Structure 1
Amino acid sequence: MREAEGVPTAFDFFAAGELPAPDLPLAEAAAIADALGVPGDLESLGSQQDQNLLIRGADGPLGVLKLANAAFPEREIAAQEVAAAAVQAAAPDLRIATVLEVGGRPASGRFPSADGELTARVLRFLPGGTLVGRGHLGPDVVARMGSIAGRVSAALADFEHPGLDRVLQWDLRESRRVVDLLGHPDADRHDAIRRATDEAWGAVQRVAGDLPVQAGHWDLTDDNLVVGADGRLPDGIIDFGDVARGWRVGELAVALSCLLHHPGGDPWTALPAVRAFDAVAPLSDAEIAALWPLVQLRGAVLVVSGAQQVALDAANDYAASALDREWRMFSGAVGVPAVVMTALIRDALGRPRRLPTPRGRLATAAPIDLGVTSPLADDGAWLEARFEDLAAASAHEPVAAPAGVARIGSTRPLDAAGVPSVPTAATLWAGPEPLVLAAPWTGAVRDGALHGAGLRLLLAGAAPEDGPRQEGDELVVLPPGGRVDVQLVADDAPAVPLLVRRELAPGWLALVADPGPLLGLPLTEPEDDAALLRRRDAALADVQEHYWSAPPRIERGWGVHLVESRGRVLLDMVNNVTAIGHAHPAVTAAVARQLGLLNTNSRFHYRAITDLATTLAGLLPDPLDRVLLVNSGSEAVDLAIRVAHAATGRTGIVAVGEAYHGWTLASDAVSTSIADNPNAIGTRPDWVHVVDAPNAYRGRHRDAEARRYGPEAAAAIRALPSPPAAFLAEPFFGNAGGVPLPDGYLREVYSAVRERGGLAIADEVQVGLGRLGRWFWGFEQQGVVPDVVTVAKSLGNGFPVGAVITTADVARRFGSEGSFFSSTGGSPVSSVAASTVLRVLREEGLQERARVVGDRLRTALEGLAARHGIIGAVHGAGLYLGVELVRDRATRTPATVEAAAICDRLLTRGVVVQPTGDHKNVLKIKPPLVLPEDAADFFVAQLDEVLATGW
């Protein structure tokens, strides 16, 4: 396009017509690259409207040859180059695909071609690859994308150039015109796009006059953001081909739209990007209002433009391959109403808006708690059919449950997607007598809803007849036991579901008023889990960590399930503290009964302590028959070390590398895991002697060579200048991820330590009490009997109780130093809790379940390993398993970052699991022993999904 004077006009998509991408033969393109001073082999990269080719040299990529569409004037291409340089100057830590310089000059120029004169440039090649094929994008990646978009927007806020004045189809200010012009060849899709475009365009136009306009990149998508050295987070930007002016918020809208085609890319997963953008370039109210409608418009433009480009340029594989993901972007964008997403975005940015409740009274009812912590839901009652109706009927009076509080009866176990569990309506039950519902204000009933005060009152389950009503007039009469959902919706809002997903709840709840006061209930104050976390962090020492950077708030457990406060049931695959399952009714009842009788210290004489000690001693082989009771595993190990010191008159302890034994002074001294203490090895006291971790997968001796660990450790013990008091180790290597010790290892080492007059201590805190399935105690797998055994953690099913079991002779020698007692170790309540756990383990056959379900789980995980190269090995036995993740099976490089991200993604799919090991790359699988087969299968299915679709 040229004016009469020969000066190129600005590009105008609507005047240009069809824009097939240049398609120069490789030989011709290679000649251009050679002329620009960057010769090499060329490889097509694909593009929508330009031609991009990778230039490879002998040592790798040299740059990207970009042949601009002949329709674009030179000054516009120059604007792209200057804009890229401006962003690089403003954000020097970002990698920007600027034009290469060759011999002190930019590698760019104009060249004739069969398609007309083209501008050719060689751009800097950014290694790392883009995000477009990376599968699921985690919250940290999404946040980085938003941050980059904000930084680019800030960098170009005052950018000016003559080449910015162009009319592009990607300018969201032109989105409706683009959809009108191009349409879609599929009639059904065309109609869906048309409806969504009209609605979104109307929403944007209401605030368009308040939207700032500036220069922008307008294509900061997964196609154009390059991953950095960590292999995960983007730090590079390519393709400034769409540089122009536009609505500032469009920069963010474009970035958000591309998230929606990735696995798990639901609309609410875009919120980290919104928060990150806002932190760099704060959004105005008008921009917040326009943002999601613009995401919808971007999706519509992509779909119609992609269809047109493929119809025009059938050989353009790049455009053809994008059609499916472009439709997923559009579908995801319109899958949630824009008003809901706008309210959700406001809430995420700390600017929520709530509708006031009008005065008036519909009926009077007593409140009923159907939330996650409701006593009515105890003992698994929430899993019963019609739980809510049965709970309400037990009240024998009219009752109402509030809106906005997650209903535990609406949740479901083993739920990967997350069922709707947050009510947008209050639920009212009539009680044993009929209940009259009266109009709370004067208005009119239309289509079954009472209108007035800018709201519509809906009574789902009992619609009143149409017609005028005065305040106090009868609307409907609920029969005895009748139920109705009372919803107050803004008159201009779309239909609001009675139950919504917890992720979308703040968005939907912004469209309704709280109906509680109409029923005599107080206003529902939304719980702020983030504020609670801030209070925790302000009160607790920083070192007292929690799982995840943004942890869910867990307020209930049942069996193998944990329930979030916002109404999501999670499968607990890591909690070996509660061996017999969360909230086991036998433990609950026994502890409550004993608290009502007596709780004191162990110096008093009562039955419970005797019963527990006798039972524990009976579970161990001779001569282990003396029990000392404490509060925790750390204290048990600490006491075991004291016992060894007293019994031998020595202080030296031989410990194993990569082990964790506790937090007390002594148990920490023998803990060598660098995951828990990066300086563990170098800071051990001189009385602790460390032998190699007998890790057959990752240690110094691997696979078959692991047989050398036992003889080497035995030789090290025999070579110590002073005989040790004891050798201490888990008999099944727990902290490393359930790695079994090499056959014969403990036999060799126990023999060596006993030769020198020392004791053998087995730390069974994690692996004992039947968890290994085939063996009740870990040391049984090695065919040995220790001198001292420590047990805790699952012994009380979460109640603080631990024990040291030793021989009569060792106990006597320990006693020669004085008496011992623990105030609450062995208290009546502690003893009853532990005795009940041991009884349940036996009566419910949980050791056998650990074997059967554990074998099933391990076999399934090994099947995953055959399909997913990131799994280097599956360790363990019974329900103490470890899935070791590696970046390369040959080198066994730990996949530490990946393990954390996989755990984060599993959480979104309803599974709680955490990494362990010195490299934090082993998924530790230690669920309650009541794990059923369907739950084991669910875990494997979710892990398979995450490994297949990304994290």
Structure 2
Amino acid sequence: MINGFDPNQMGNLAAEEKRIIERRQALLGPAYKLFYQEPVHPVRGEGVWLYDAEGNAYLDAYNNVPSVGHCHPKVVAAVAQQAATLNTHTRYLDEHILNYSERLLATFPESLSRVMYTCTGSEAVDLALRIAKHFTGGTGVIITENAYHGVTTASAEISPSIGESVPIGQHVYTIPVPDKRNANGSDLGEVMAEHVNNALKTMRRHGIKPAAFIADGIFSTDGVFADPAGFLSDIKEAVEQAGALYIADEVQPGFGRTGSHMWGFQRHNMVPDIVVMGKPMGNGLPIAAVVMTAEIQENFGQQIRYFNTFGGNHVSIAAASAVLDILHEENLIENARLTGDYLIQGLRELGTQFSVIGETRGTGLFIGVDIVCDKDSHTPDGPLAITIVNALRQKKVLLSASGPNGNVLKIRPPLVFNREHADILLHALSEVLKSLV
């Protein structure tokens, strides 16, 4: 795991931290991983800040799940009020879920008019795959080489970034990441569509009918590839011509994070067949959803009974509704655009000062910064990236890394992150680079 803590390296940790880690290992086991060489122990959060027991503040430039900020007062109040009133499942009549569904669907293109609720993004991806396979009669799925889509059996099978110990599914085919540097000057959309068509040909050669292409529109675990805006429309056309469905995984880019639109796919001038979203919709509460066309949902719903016991429960719906209010009232999509542009510019300026910074990519408040050995050859330097991540942690600035080589600094803070916070991050990164390079 990139930026994972090694429990065998506890020599420099304080006695209390060692005790907690040992309890954690004994109770939760080795599958549960911690971040950083020296794990962080927050006891409370507020906005873009996490605080430890001594009151030290850590700038959170990484956690996208508390999308409108840690412990936002309006979300807290909505959750508390609803939890004190009623919290049950969707087999009883209730208008809260209907009111929220109308508001949510109003943010989508008109054709995407149905929604089904789950508790996690992994469940939403799992359900989307079931629906796509049922609608098309196919089983083949196309993903990118280092994708991540979840932890259920079905979603883990399309998540090669989890590692080689979790093999991809038998009918899952990978294509290269959308890195324009590998397009050799050709149109990136056309190049990616060609990769998709090649995967489709391989599928058919093996007697496999295609069901879906799925991607998060920011390609977060592939190394953060957002541009040029519009290149996904060529993929959508190739998928549609093959009789398969395009699934947009909006767990990462959705809810205004890209700074230009509510949904990441909207930057690409295309409309997917199915959209999945996860816990950022409820600021971390257990709520996720699948949005799709009425035709696709009718085909599935008339033949298959689906029920998720607490998917769309009252408390989670209250949190999700508060998030929609906050996005509008605090103008957070515009803030993501303005702050993101400012931060990207600052990071690119650092790239002129430090040769280890390669390309800076991103849109809004989702940014990737390549750490390289050599700018000319763009040779990835994963170990240095992790050293930088841990040095920033010592300066109480939290981010992490991604990409197949682990060399891309991944920056995706809560949407209330502003220029003041960006300046703190840029100053800390500059100080770290001066000490390391």
TM range (shorter): over 0.9
For 1:712, the aligned partner's letter is: E
1:770 is matched with 256
Whole-angstrom distance in 1 between the partners of 2:295 and 2:230: 26
2:59 is matched with 571
Work out whether residues 694 and 742 of structure 1, in 8 Å CA contact, stay in contact via their aligned partners in 2: no
SS in 2 for 1:861: helix
Q: Does 1:626 align with 2:114?
A: yes
TM-score by length of 2: 0.93
CA positional deviation for 1:551: 0.6
Equivalent position to 1:946, from 410, 432, 435: 432
Work out whether residues 220 and 402 of structure 2, in 8 Å CA contact, stay in contact via their aligned partners in 1: no
2:43 is matched with 555
Whole-angstrom distance in 2 between the partners of 1:689 and 1:742: 24
CA positional deviation for 1:713: 2.3
Q: Does 1:757 align with 2:243?
A: yes
Q: Does 1:693 align with 2:181?
A: no
Seen in structure 2, the aligned counterparts of structure 1 residues 911 and 703 have a Cα distance that, compared at 3 Å, is farther
Deviations 1:676-733 (A, max 9, x none): 21356xx322221222222234xx5466574553231242255231431111111222
Q: Does 1:716 align with 2:202?
A: no
Whole-angstrom distance in 1 between the partners of 2:358 and 2:165: 27
CA positional deviation for 1:758: 1.3
Work out whether residues 731 and 741 of structure 1, in 8 Å CA contact, stay in contact via their aligned partners in 2: no
Whole-angstrom distance in 2 between the partners of 1:742 and 1:690: 21
For 1:793, the aligned partner's letter is: K
Alignment of 1:8-87 (within 5 A): none
Gaps of at least 5 residues in structure 1 are: 1-139, 145-271, 277-346, 351-527
CA positional deviation for 1:904: 1.1
Deviations 1:247-293 (A, max 9, x none): xxxxxxxxxxxxxxxxxxxxxxxxx9xx68xxxxxxxxxxxxxxxxx
Runs of 4+ in 1 over 6 A off after TM superposition: none
Q: Does 1:748 align with 2:219?
A: no
SS in 1 for 2:83: helix
SS in 2 for 1:597: coil
Equivalent position to 1:924, from 410, 414, 422: 410
For 2:314, the aligned partner's letter is: P
SS in 1 for 2:34: coil
CA positional deviation for 1:833: 0.8
CA positional deviation for 1:749: 1.8
Work out whether residues 737 and 876 of structure 1, in 8 Å CA contact, stay in contact via their aligned partners in 2: no
CA positional deviation for 1:941: 0.6
1:605 is matched with 93
Alignment of 1:464-613 (within 5 A): 528-613=16-101
CA positional deviation for 1:933: 1.2
Whole-angstrom distance in 2 between the partners of 1:935 and 1:745: 31
1:732 is matched with 218
Whole-angstrom distance in 2 between the partners of 1:850 and 1:685: 36
CA positional deviation for 1:756: 2.2
1:787 is matched with 273
Whole-angstrom distance in 2 between the partners of 1:748 and 1:925: 28
2:340 is matched with 854
Whole-angstrom distance in 1 between the partners of 2:184 and 2:376: 12
For 1:695, the aligned partner's letter is: D
Deviations 1:834-876 (A, max 9, x none): 1111111111100000001111111111100110111111010
Gaps of at least 5 residues in structure 2 are: none
Work out whether residues 736 and 922 of structure 1, in 8 Å CA contact, stay in contact via their aligned partners in 2: no
For 2:150, the aligned partner's letter is: G
For 2:69, the aligned partner's letter is: G
Q: Point out which structure has higher relative CO (alpha carbons under 8 A, 6+ apart).
A: 2
Work out whether residues 737 and 881 of structure 1, in 8 Å CA contact, stay in contact via their aligned partners in 2: no
Whole-angstrom distance in 2 between the partners of 1:865 and 1:684: 36
SS in 2 for 1:639: helix
2:125 is matched with 637
2:142 is matched with 654
Whole-angstrom distance in 2 between the partners of 1:691 and 1:882: 20
Whole-angstrom distance in 2 between the partners of 1:773 and 1:742: 15
SS in 2 for 1:725: strand
Of the two, which has the highest radius of gyration? Answer: 1
Q: Does 1:934 align with 2:423?
A: no
SS in 1 for 2:369: strand
Whole-angstrom distance in 1 between the partners of 2:199 and 2:41: 47
For 2:195, the aligned partner's letter is: A
CA RMSD of aligned residues (A): 2.1
2:295 is matched with 809
Q: Does 1:841 align with 2:323?
A: no
1:333 is matched with none
SS in 2 for 1:655: strand
Whole-angstrom distance in 1 between the partners of 2:185 and 2:320: 39
TM-score by length of 1: 0.43
Whole-angstrom distance in 2 between the partners of 1:656 and 1:741: 16
Whole-angstrom distance in 2 between the partners of 1:938 and 1:890: 29
Deviates more, 1:939-948 or 1:816-825: 816-825
2:104 is matched with 616
Work out whether residues 714 and 748 of structure 1, in 8 Å CA contact, stay in contact via their aligned partners in 2: no
2:308 is matched with 822
Whole-angstrom distance in 2 between the partners of 1:679 and 1:748: 33
Work out whether residues 119 and 286 of structure 2, in 8 Å CA contact, stay in contact via their aligned partners in 1: yes
Whole-angstrom distance in 2 between the partners of 1:707 and 1:819: 38
CA positional deviation for 1:659: 0.9
Work out whether residues 256 and 263 of structure 2, in 8 Å CA contact, stay in contact via their aligned partners in 1: yes
1:414 is matched with none
Work out whether residues 738 and 877 of structure 1, in 8 Å CA contact, stay in contact via their aligned partners in 2: no
Whole-angstrom distance in 2 between the partners of 1:860 and 1:553: 29
For 1:914, the aligned partner's letter is: S
CA positional deviation for 1:573: 0.2
CA positional deviation for 1:735: 1.4
CA positional deviation for 1:743: 5.1
For 1:759, the aligned partner's letter is: L
Deviations 1:467-495 (A, max 9, x none): xxxxxxxxxxxxxxxxxxxxxxxxxxxxx
Equivalent position to 1:896, from 365, 378, 382: 382
Whole-angstrom distance in 2 between the partners of 1:602 and 1:667: 24
Identity %: 37
Work out whether residues 799 and 830 of structure 1, in 8 Å CA contact, stay in contact via their aligned partners in 2: yes
1:875 is matched with 361
Deviations 1:858-898 (A, max 9, x none): 11111001101111110100000011101111222211111
Seen in structure 2, the aligned counterparts of structure 1 residues 935 and 743 have a Cα distance that, compared at 3 Å, is closer
Work out whether residues 132 and 245 of structure 2, in 8 Å CA contact, stay in contact via their aligned partners in 1: yes
Alignment of 1:82-481 (within 5 A): none
Deviations 1:561-609 (A, max 9, x none): 0001222100000010111000000010000100000001111111221
SS in 1 for 2:416: coil
Seen in structure 2, the aligned counterparts of structure 1 residues 662 and 826 have a Cα distance that, compared at 3 Å, is same
For 2:284, the aligned partner's letter is: G
CA positional deviation for 1:935: 0.8
Whole-angstrom distance in 1 between the partners of 2:342 and 2:229: 23
Whole-angstrom distance in 2 between the partners of 1:542 and 1:790: 30
For 2:256, the aligned partner's letter is: G
For 2:85, the aligned partner's letter is: L
